[in-house]
Structure 1
Amino acid sequence: MTEAGGVPPEIAAWFDVRGWRVRRHQAGMLAAADAGRHALLVADTGAGKTLAGFLPTLAAFCPSRLGAAPPPEGLHTLYVSPLKALAHDVQRNLIAPIEDMGLPIRVETRSGDTPSDRKARQRARPPHVLLTTPESLSLLLSYPEAPELFAGLRRVVIDEVHAFAAGKRGDLLALSLARLQALSPGLQRAALSATLADPDAYRGWLAPWGDIGSTALVEGEEGADPQVEILLPREERIPWSGHAATWAIPQLIEQIAAHRTTLVFTNTRFLAEYIFQELWSANAANLPIGIHHGSLSKEARRKVEGAMARGELRALVCTASLDLGIDWGDIDLVVQMGAPKGSSRLLQRIGRANHRLDCPSEALLVPGNRFEFLEAFAAQQAVREGQRDGELFRRGGLDVLAQHVMAMACAGPFREAALLDEVRSSQAYAWVDEAVFARVLEFVATGGYALRAYDRFRRIVREKDGTWRLTHPEHAARHRLNAGIIVDAEMLEVRFRNGRSLGRVEEGFGASLKPGDTFRFAGLDLEVESLKDLDLVVRAARRSATIPSYMGQRMPISTHLAGRVRAMLADRAGWARFPDDVREWLEVQDWRSHLPAPGRLLVESFPHQGLAYTSYFTFEGWNANQSLGMLITRRMEERGLGPLGFVATDYTLVIWGLKPVEDPASLLSPDILTHEFVDWVQQSYLLRRAFREVAVISGLVERQHPGKRKSGRQVTFSTDLIYDVLQKYEPDHLLIEAAWADARARMTDVARVADVLDRAAREVDHVQLDRISPLAVPALSMIGRESLPSGAADDDLLVEAESLAAMAMRVDPPSGDDGGL
């Protein structure tokens, strides 16, 4: 037998045959397990993280470790990943060492796609290693046989922990870990990631609450530095506006032809479809190119994944659906279309190329406009310096806790105090006290005070001996049919009252509107009448649209990357590294106005086409800027400034009206978040939308019945009815509280709005100009250009941007009328 902490000879020999060596971090994970500790591994992509996580499992089945003892029986290791595709990929890669070493280990996957008969067999005769997702694990724990199934569990390996630990899926997994630890006190937890900015925060999440010292931090060996380049137009300027970067298509075809396999990442599904079509149109050599995103059928995704694994594709256009851990060895180039939005996400995507620690990954960043060039440059520098984006942990959601309580009731009767202790052993729910837990139990038991008269909400009951149990066995089947965290985002149909449809917009945009708000869509100025079910009912507006450009939903720039861009703008000496047209853009901005400085807020006011415009250069992301635009225009209306509209980008908020803003600082006082914010959220549909999600997650509203799934419209109708009842009779209901938490944190990015207000409180650089500034051109060019489902509006954006740029970049004093006030 080997000594504790040593690598079993079977494993060492397997490495030797391949000409590999056991890396320091792989041995470190084995040593942590032998010492009985939990472990967090942070290592570069291609460092063999997944194998490192499984080494203690493989070692436990090695004859040199077992001696005369028989191999472990029953479920030994759980592997939890955020993606079903990743579990299947890991299964393929794990089978090889198991078969090569002749280890008696059975490996199976379990997800929503697993046939029901196999799921039943797995509960009765579990494999040694089960690869699953947080949702499927929670469902497993809801069965009465769970205590027996998990009693001998030795390890849980959580892959790509950064992808979900700080969100609601992480809340659900944290509660499941607490339950598993109670069922198997000797259980060891392991988590793996390549992109953590604050490992200690994740150690705290992984460990039982208050015992961070039980979790070892294992750091990987440094790999080859990735080779990240920014693709620039040949003998042309970087566009002023637009996001599709279609200027790069001919150069991308050349790159695809010059490499074995290329992954082309986009930030949205719409853009993935558009870029895929553009590549095919330019694909004169008929190179095999595929597409992969979450809206495709399971069969279509599996077909593409199989083709990639067999090396049959030269390029694959994809979204975040392939961000995580997929190991296809022939990929030798990663392309990021548009802005990367964060250094961690970019590192994750880059790591898909040349998936080996000693082989540098090759990546190309393709900016769609000048701000995206700055963002790409900042991300390139962050990657070279090894800097990652931080992720803030927040309190666990009450809707997720309610779902977990119901799952525990399905597994069998429980005692309140024991379950509370278990729940509080996770960092996400350490804040829950007896009073809060009693409210959660009351909600699961009756639906709350206003709903307790309805039998369908009575799911659990307290017995005389103090235990809680299901009121009827059918509730267990209904829970398992409906449990889950992911609530699909709906699209809203934009319709006139007579039923005529104008198209669809993301619900996140529509929910931010209230009756009377105006926006521009399909070339029309529209006024909101109501949001009924999933219809945004509108009429022709009698005035210009307040929100003149429907931008569509997209991920915001990270706080870390935004800070880097601001620092680059302030570093005038560093501009020498930029292309001539970008440097000229910034130089004219510096000459005519100011540049955004770290810790300060730049605000510009200028006349344009007879109206007064104000630009706020926040760099806080589209969602925060959209929220800020809603709040500031409300305040402007109260002060008689006659706001007529605004447009938001990741970097800038531009508002215009009848009267100029003389004192922007007064519009940005912190009390805007205690007065206008509350009024806006309540009068818009944001809270109603948030309520629908928490109602579904908590189990109050069911999406599925046996053999039938409710449509999004039916779910919305049900939740709207309940929402109206609760707002009238029980406004402090548990789910109203949970909906407010979501509205503040996720839907409005209120924390980043607060950051803008903090900067405004310190110093506002307010510059009065006679015309538009160069830095404001990209935002103004968006006005009236709705984002089409493929990014096809980019040509119109470029024409408008060039016209505005000619005015902004003219350095001689203006002659004649510029359209000012």
Structure 2
Amino acid sequence: MPALPRPLADWFSAQSWALHPHQTDMLARAGRASTLLIAPTGGGKTLAGFLPSLAELAQGHAGLHTLYISPLKALTADIRRNLRAPVEGAGLPIRIEDRTGDTPYTQRRRQRADPPHILLTTPESLALLLSYEDAPRIFSGLQRVIVDEIHALAESKRGDQLMLCLARLARLAPGLRRVGLSATVEDPPALARYLGPDTAILQADPGPDPDISMLDTGAPPPWAGGGGRHAIPAILDQVRRHRTTLIFHNTRAQAELFFHHLWLANEDSLPIGIHHGSLAREQRERVEAAMAAGKLRAVVCTGSLDLGIDWGDVDLVIQVGAPKNVKRLVQRIGRANHRYNAPSKALLVPANRFEVVECVAALQAVRDHDLDGEPRGPGPRDVLCQHILMTAASGPFEADALFAEVREAGPYGSLTRPEFDACLDFVATGGYALRAYDRWQRLVLRDGRWQLRDPRQAAVIRQNLGTIIDVETLKVRLKGRPGGTPLGEVEEGFASTLTPGDTFLIGGEIVRYEGLREMTVEVTRQPGRDPKVAVFNGTKFATSTLLTQRILRMFQQEAWPDLPRHTAEWLALQRDVSRLPEPDRLLLESFPHDGREHLCVYGFAGRNGQQTLGLLLTKRMEETGLAPLGFVATDYATLIWGLEPVTDPAPLFDIAALRDGLEGWLSGNAVMKRTFRASAIIAGLIERSHQGRRKTGRQATFSSDILYDTLHRFDPGHLLLDITRQEAMRGLVDFARIEEMIARTEGRIDLVRLDRVTPLAAPLFLEPGRIPVQGEGRERLAEAAAERLMKAAGLA
């Protein structure tokens, strides 16, 4: 065990700091090959990860010793400031620098020639470093790598890319030790396997349970909607009572709308900010600085503040809208009282009546320490294709050696040799349908080693590394200030719907659209008008499987003492009129309303799954003459309306037929083209940048659409089409949740025929996002309307 250097121990004593047990344990485990530390937010887990490095560096080391990897650029800067305090305070000769996309070119170039002792970076910057020919020299002396917030990385392709890079580092630096740091983990052994073989798990004392409850707003929430506007007076009261409050929302659009109404109701002029990923970086940094300085009483935010930056004296977290995911809720709760052994305080605000049930289920899960998490699938092959290109950019390689190296990466431990060879062939030639084109002939085999056909391709490969796909967005600037700071960005699709005079929200203020100038949305400030809400690239979270299972079990209770009276009475009325959904049965309700037949399917498959179910069921209904007209979906149900009642639902839910219907629907659908574009960019088939110039989203989409149509027609078995299908099924479509629903109910379908709308189905009539179905039903309505018109004109 390396001893804590005396200067550092003295500095800790001068600050009246004492090491926590898990920090001491990390020092004792300094020699272990791989360790996963799970410690509560505020427990000093980042310092625990660095202590062995500081102890070893105090004894002297030439070159790069420790690599710290974070999912956020802002977190690397924050860690650098926090780490320099003890290092400089103790007078230790340790250089600490960060390297991200914001690091100046001259500094990045110097870091390659003369690396610091500790380098703080992101997965993308690490991949770029590994793509250079001098990577073996840079990393030859590397001793430790620390992956912060590893649970967040493990849920995305950025984490898969990182694990491939760590496998490469292990070859360049034999004996490299790994450390993973996380606060919220639902399955520690699975995350340990993800980090690497033989990873030991160290769990710190979790500390006191959070002080978490539902905010009493004095009145029932609305039946539908997701903005939480009804709770603004009660939320403002809580803001007045606390030093700093974070008010989380699940989407950026909801955050903008809520902030707008919160500001209008803020009669005390409390300093309140807004923070989300679509705002200009300068605006986010101003809010972050004001928070750190204690100048803000509240910040309305999204997932941009989920992770572990210490934003100042936050003593309350409010989650507006059902959290959808217990693990994410626990992470957000940890932003309050960012101190060890101090309970975090949080309040939940359901945005509508059904979310009351979901919030109670989430509260119970937090109290039971029951975290959710979907099983991790195998490492995606588009990321592997990019990794092969990155490896080739750094120099020639042998296929056998690279295959063995890739298999050392946790997500790719089950990769087969044929799967690897298919990726290698695609990277080398573009695949069967594209191998005749010179631009995709990128690798050649010489003397048993693969290498770039043209060494100049290395620069293009480096420009296109990364798994984050840019959304087609346009910058928003005040008119008359072409070089001024942008207010933020909006999606290109939203901008195309605007006409001069339209107003919308951005950064919490209302602006008036004046026009489009050189791909920039020009606006003027226009307070006092009712705005549209810009369509940001905010995630629509689906309620997790764990939460839906808890909700279904809650429905089986005789009474609901944990629910507010208004919600308990609503469920009791549903039970009297119809029945409540059960965990192992599929409830369907059929009833007439407003001259249409309605079918309500309580699948509890999450929003994406229920939406897909609506598409597939209406397709099946159209084929069987039931004339569906449209549907709407929520996380828990799909409501379909049409001209004919459903009397025998079993054929509609045949899993083989549903799967066939999905294949047919996907083959010509925009979902597939959108997914193909993302995978093609990651896999290196389509360039995001060429010779330093970034392609517009429209250019990339045009290229990908042509390629998709070509491959679909001439090479339907192409690797990228197979990857695209898997990605679509797992992501936007979420067919796995439908399969889980079918397996859970095993054909036990209860169709309840009623003469009117039921209490549980009623809120679906108020949901936005109704999707019309084009088919026989609409044709019959058009014919009937035409007949009535002719009769009115005396012509029939």
| TM-score bracket for this pair, using the shorter chain length | 0.7 to 0.9
Contact 1:140/1:146 (CA < 8 Å) preserved in 2? yes
Contact 1:160/1:194 (CA < 8 Å) preserved in 2? yes
String of CA shifts for 1:600-640, please: whole Å, max 9, x gaps: 22211111112111111122211000111111111111111
Q: Are 1:472 and 2:454 an aligned pair?
A: yes
Contact 1:493/1:503 (CA < 8 Å) preserved in 2? no
Contact 1:12/1:22 (CA < 8 Å) preserved in 2? no
Structure 2 equivalent of residue 765 of structure 1: 750
Contact 1:139/1:480 (CA < 8 Å) preserved in 2? yes
Contact 1:40/1:216 (CA < 8 Å) preserved in 2? yes
The residue type equivalent to 1:637 in the other structure is: E
Name which of 18, 33, 52 aligns with 2:48: 52
Q: Are 1:147 and 2:131 an aligned pair?
A: no
> Following the alignment from structure 1 to structure 2, what is the Cα–Cα distance between the partners of residues 655 and 558?
23
User: Which ranges of structure 2 fall in alignment gaps of 5 or more residues?
Assistant: 473-490, 504-536, 772-796
Cα gap change, 1:396/1:785 in structure 2, threshold over 3 Å: closer, same or farther? closer
> Following the alignment from structure 1 to structure 2, what is the Cα–Cα distance between the partners of residues 136 and 599?
47
> Following the alignment from structure 1 to structure 2, what is the Cα–Cα distance between the partners of residues 295 and 714?
21
> Following the alignment from structure 2 to structure 1, what is the Cα–Cα distance between the partners of residues 499 and 313?
50
Contact 2:586/2:745 (CA < 8 Å) preserved in 1? yes
> Following the alignment from structure 1 to structure 2, what is the Cα–Cα distance between the partners of residues 383 and 357?
18
Deviation, structure 1 residue 488: 2.6
Contact 2:471/2:697 (CA < 8 Å) preserved in 1? no
> Following the alignment from structure 1 to structure 2, what is the Cα–Cα distance between the partners of residues 100 and 495?
51
> Following the alignment from structure 2 to structure 1, what is the Cα–Cα distance between the partners of residues 538 and 683?
28
The residue type equivalent to 2:50 in the other structure is: F
Structure 1 equivalent of residue 207 of structure 2: 223
String of CA shifts for 1:275-330, please: whole Å, max 9, x gaps: 11112111122211111111112222222111111111111111101100011240
User: Which ranges of structure 1 fall in alignment gaps of 5 or more residues?
Assistant: 505-550, 787-821
The residue type equivalent to 1:149 in the other structure is: I
Contact 2:215/2:347 (CA < 8 Å) preserved in 1? yes
Deviation, structure 1 residue 732: 1.2
Aligned to 1:33, what secondary structure does the other structure show?
coil
Structure 2 equivalent of residue 19 of structure 1: 16
Structure 1 equivalent of residue 520 of structure 2: none
Structure 2 equivalent of residue 662 of structure 1: 647
Q: Are 1:648 and 2:633 an aligned pair?
A: yes
Cα gap change, 1:624/1:126 in structure 2, threshold over 3 Å: closer, same or farther? same
> Following the alignment from structure 1 to structure 2, what is the Cα–Cα distance between the partners of residues 670 and 386?
34
Deviation, structure 1 residue 740: 1.0
Deviation, structure 1 residue 503: 11
> Following the alignment from structure 1 to structure 2, what is the Cα–Cα distance between the partners of residues 9 and 600?
65
Aligned to 1:634, what secondary structure does the other structure show?
helix
Contact 2:3/2:55 (CA < 8 Å) preserved in 1? no
Deviation, structure 1 residue 502: 14
Structure 2 equivalent of residue 597 of structure 1: 582
Contact 2:650/2:747 (CA < 8 Å) preserved in 1? no
Contact 2:221/2:230 (CA < 8 Å) preserved in 1? no
Q: Are 1:717 and 2:714 an aligned pair?
A: no
The residue type equivalent to 1:147 in the other structure is: P
Q: Are 1:636 and 2:621 an aligned pair?
A: yes
Contact 1:224/1:357 (CA < 8 Å) preserved in 2? no
Deviation, structure 1 residue 473: 2.4
Q: Are 1:439 and 2:422 an aligned pair?
A: yes
Q: Are 1:100 and 2:89 an aligned pair?
A: yes
Alignment TM-score, normalising by the size of structure 2: 0.87
Name which of 544, 547, 554 aligns with 1:558: 544
Name which of 33, 38, 41 aligns with 1:42: 38
Structure 1 equivalent of residue 391 of structure 2: 408
> Following the alignment from structure 2 to structure 1, what is the Cα–Cα distance between the partners of residues 538 and 79?
35
> Following the alignment from structure 2 to structure 1, what is the Cα–Cα distance between the partners of residues 691 and 339?
47
1:641-790 paired onto structure 2 within 5 Å: 641-782=626-767
The residue type equivalent to 2:342 in the other structure is: C
String of CA shifts for 1:367-407, please: whole Å, max 9, x gaps: 11111111111111111121111232111111111111111
> Following the alignment from structure 2 to structure 1, what is the Cα–Cα distance between the partners of residues 152 and 288?
21
Deviation, structure 1 residue 14: 3.9
The residue type equivalent to 2:554 in the other structure is: M
Q: Are 1:163 and 2:152 an aligned pair?
A: yes
> Following the alignment from structure 1 to structure 2, what is the Cα–Cα distance between the partners of residues 53 and 215?
15
> Following the alignment from structure 1 to structure 2, what is the Cα–Cα distance between the partners of residues 744 and 457?
27
Structure 2 equivalent of residue 325 of structure 1: 308
1:462-611 paired onto structure 2 within 5 Å: 462-463=445-446, 465-490=447-472, 491=491, 493=493, 554-573=540-559, 575-611=560-596
Q: Are 1:315 and 2:312 an aligned pair?
A: no
Contact 1:631/1:677 (CA < 8 Å) preserved in 2? yes
Alignment TM-score, normalising by the size of structure 1: 0.85
Deviation, structure 1 residue 8: 4.9
Deviation, structure 1 residue 733: 1.1
Deviation, structure 1 residue 719: 0.8
Aligned to 2:613, what secondary structure does the other structure show?
helix
The residue type equivalent to 2:728 in the other structure is: A
Moved runs in structure 1, 4+ residues, more than 6 A?
Answer: 498-504
The residue type equivalent to 2:62 in the other structure is: E
Contact 2:252/2:302 (CA < 8 Å) preserved in 1? yes
Contact 2:42/2:338 (CA < 8 Å) preserved in 1? yes
> Following the alignment from structure 1 to structure 2, what is the Cα–Cα distance between the partners of residues 14 and 240?
57
Deviation, structure 1 residue 350: 0.7
Deviation, structure 1 residue 489: 3.6
Contact 1:493/1:502 (CA < 8 Å) preserved in 2? no
> Following the alignment from structure 1 to structure 2, what is the Cα–Cα distance between the partners of residues 292 and 118?
29
Aligned to 2:29, what secondary structure does the other structure show?
helix
Deviation, structure 1 residue 561: 1.2
Cα gap change, 1:14/1:605 in structure 2, threshold over 3 Å: closer, same or farther? farther
Deviation, structure 1 residue 435: 2.4
> Following the alignment from structure 2 to structure 1, what is the Cα–Cα distance between the partners of residues 424 and 502?
43
Q: Are 1:304 and 2:290 an aligned pair?
A: no
Q: Are 1:88 and 2:73 an aligned pair?
A: no
Deviation, structure 1 residue 16: 3.4
Aligned to 1:284, what secondary structure does the other structure show?
coil
Deviation, structure 1 residue 412: 0.8
Name which of 114, 126, 145 aligns with 2:115: 126
Q: How many equivalent pairs are there?
A: 722
Contact 1:158/1:190 (CA < 8 Å) preserved in 2? yes
Aligned to 1:747, what secondary structure does the other structure show?
coil
Quote the RMSD (CA, aligned, Å).
Answer: 2.4
Deviation, structure 1 residue 681: 0.9
Cα gap change, 1:232/1:147 in structure 2, threshold over 3 Å: closer, same or farther? same
The residue type equivalent to 2:53 in the other structure is: T
